[in-house]
Amino acid sequence: MVEQELKEIWRNSSQIEQIKFDISRLLRDLDKRAKKLDQVIKNRDRREIAASVFGVIMFGYFAIAIPFWITKIGALLSVLWFIYIIFKFRNNRKTKAPVDLTLPYKEQLHRQRKNIEQEAAFLNSVLYWYVLPPLIANLVFIFGVGDPSAYNWEPGFLDFIPFTMNSKITMSIGIILFSAFVVWLNKRAVKKTLTPIIKEIDRIESQLENNL
């Protein structure tokens, strides 16, 4: 009887150690995926911030150089939006919890899930903070442009400004279509990349609850 009990204890302890090993391996794999994703996000943030700095300079110049007041307002709105974007991306980075593999399994998973859910919410809401504000600013900018014949502008500068109604409508349609594509692209990233990671975290948490 004692021998049988000892065998059972040995078998159970071996199973527990195997479960711990499997979960540890799953966590390492999850951490690798999370680090790879985090590097992609860092590169994206750098590109967005660099583009925003360029946007501030370009639309700041437009606000000074273009004489039409409505277009000036559109340019200034764009400048404000680019500044907001810089802070938005930096704040999204700062508010994420650091992942520490020395923490207990549950705490590691909790932090991973919180960070991924934050990024998913960030991307799912791009319509409201990344698409609509510059879309409105660009439309104000485009339709605020008046007759350039009274102004002595350089020909190269004129090439970038839509003066005719046809060119304004064409440019506006292009911007609207591109804005819709940006929304779709971000939602697709959530569905194809972030949601599977959240499901994987759920699976590991379920194993922890059932086996440990």
Predicted local distance difference test score (pLDDT) of residue 191: 93
Helices (H), the chain: 2-65, 69-94, 105-124, 126, 132-143, 155-158, 165-189, 195-211
Query: How much is the pTM?
Result: 0.80
pLDDT, residue 10, reads 37
pLDDT band at 18 (very low <50, low <70, confident <90, very high): very low
Mean pLDDT of 107-132: 92
Q: Is the pLDDT of residue 97 over 60?
A: yes
What is the domain partition of the chain in residue ranges? 2-211
pLDDT, tens digit (0-9, with 9 covering 90-100), for 167-179 = 999 999 999 999 9
Confidence of residue 15 (pLDDT cuts 50, 70, 90): very low
Q: Note whether 37 and 197 are within 8 A (CB).
A: yes
Burial class (CB in 10 A: 0-12, 13-18, 19+), 20: middle
